[in-house]
Structure 1
Amino acid sequence: MAHRERATLRVGDVFLKIDADRTRADAEVEAMAGHRSRPRRSCGASRPCSRSPPFPGTALGRLGEPSAASPAAWRAAGAAARMLHGAPPPPWPGRSLDEVASHLDGECEWLVANGVLPIDAVTRNRRVAEAALRPWTPVFTHGDLRVTHVFVDGDEVTGVLDWSEAGPVDALFDLATLTLGHPEHLGDVVAGYGTASIST
């Protein structure tokens, strides 16, 4: 996984994360340590990066492909998210509701201005997205809890990658990201998370 700001590489049995921003890299290591992910700093002072221990098993799934993971593994992923959300939040600020709304508006404007999608489709989906724009109580969230970042071995979660977006935000953001492209597993994730903990 890579883009212009950072990259995650698998080198043998470990995952190596390289980030162009030292402050962000340091925050990621702190977030991983807070979630007992046992990060290790490596690469020296000139290249901010960290490495994660090897995780047994495989990714929970891939976007656009059916997941081979069992319903129990998806429930375990929900339980892991609940455990994270119950941990003390990191000391840095998360995105505010106004920031999320502004980002959404900007993305919608870009889609229309560049003719990527018909304006009716953007408007309709923008209205749907407004359901997420409600006040929330910030909790410790992973921030990018996609299926390729969650590793499972059988029915157990063995590790979680890529903590660069971790921060105190809305718990439901993690659950929505985890089930993006896999709505058939939403019930399993919610069952593992615990419905009494979820407010809509």
Structure 2
Amino acid sequence: MDEVAVVVAHRQRATLRVGDVFLKVDGDPSHAETEVRAMALAPVPTPEILWHRPPALAIAAVPGTALGRLGEPSVASSAAWAAAGAAVRRLHEAPLPPWPGRRLDDVAAELDAECAWLLAQAVLPSDVIRRNREIAEAALRPWEPVFIHGDLQLTHVFVDGAEVTGVIDWSEAAPGDAMFDLAILTLGHEERLDDLLAGYGPGADRDVIRAWWSLRSLVAARWLIEHGFDPDAPGCEFDVLRARMQDT
């Protein structure tokens, strides 16, 4: 009998793996519903859905290995990163999913609230928070919505050689800013941005991608801390924020 492995577990959701099956249990059933709908629409490889009985969703493992992990160097080839970029381009050129995405005003309000919390808790030097808040401003502009994954972390893109074999965890998929997906995929791995964009093609705005690096790291910090993760681990969100100070 296969052992049960806990992939991730916190107060909002848990994911277990048993052999080649992943079982996801989420306190908010809308997340799984979005995931199922998004995978049906996305023009890129996605996991096979085995069954869906709220609040649980069972999916098959995808072949290949993850593009990398936050805090660790990516051993994937330049060709694999370019293939990931091409897959993201296909997604962004697909018809929009028929549900709303986040509004710009909501993103700006969340950024203000999270920066206020970071300053009040003094978890980072105030100059690091304020400088990254300035950098993040470049992301707060109107965007032409595209079909985005919405949580395109390295661990959510699987490759085999120079081929993308699967993209997982679609619960945040929605119309949104294309640069957000590109930023999340290269967060903490900015040295691979050129490889990614070689596959993605024209139209990427590097300044906006850098702005999303700052914005994402600022707004994610409190959630990570409150759910038992460490944004101050080497190569993770706080290092991303500190690195922006070197850009000044």
Shorter-chain TM-score range: over 0.9
Residue 13 (structure 2) pairs with residue 40 (structure 1)? no
Q: Distance in 1 between matches of 2:52 and 2:182?
A: 33
Correspondence 1:162 to 2:164: no
- Aligned counterpart in structure 2 of residue 24 of structure 1, from 28, 31, 35: 31
2 CA distance for matches of 1:134 and 1:11?
Answer: 43
Written as runs of structure 1 = structure 2, the 5 A alignment for 1:53-68 is 53-68=60-75
Please show how residues 166-181 of structure 1 align to structure 2 within 5 Å. Answer: 166-181=173-188
| Structure 2 letter corresponding to 1:103 | E
Matching residue of 1:88: 95
Aligned to 2:204: 198
Give the one of 3, 6, 13 matched to 2:20: 13
**Secondary structure of the equivalent of 1:79?**
helix
SS of 1:15's partner is strand
Query: C-alpha separation between the residues in 2 aligned to 1:70 and 1:185?
Result: 10
Q: TM-score, normalised by structure 1?
A: 0.92
Match of 2:144 among 130, 137, 146: 137
- State the one-letter code of the partner of 1:140: F
For residues 22 and 166 of structure 2, the distance between their equivalents in structure 1, rounded to whole angstroms, comes to 11
Q: After the TM superposition, which of the residue ranges 20-29 and 163-172 deviates more from structure 2? A: 20-29
How many aligned residue pairs are there?
Answer: 197
Q: Hey, what's the Cα distance between the residues in 2 that align with 1:26 and 1:5?
A: 15
Q: Distance in 1 between matches of 2:140 and 2:121?
A: 25
Higher relative contact order (CA closer than 8 Å, sequence separation 6+): 1
Q: Which runs of 5+ in 2 are unaligned?
A: 1-7, 209-248
> What RMSD, in angstroms, separates the aligned Cα atoms of the two structures?
1.6
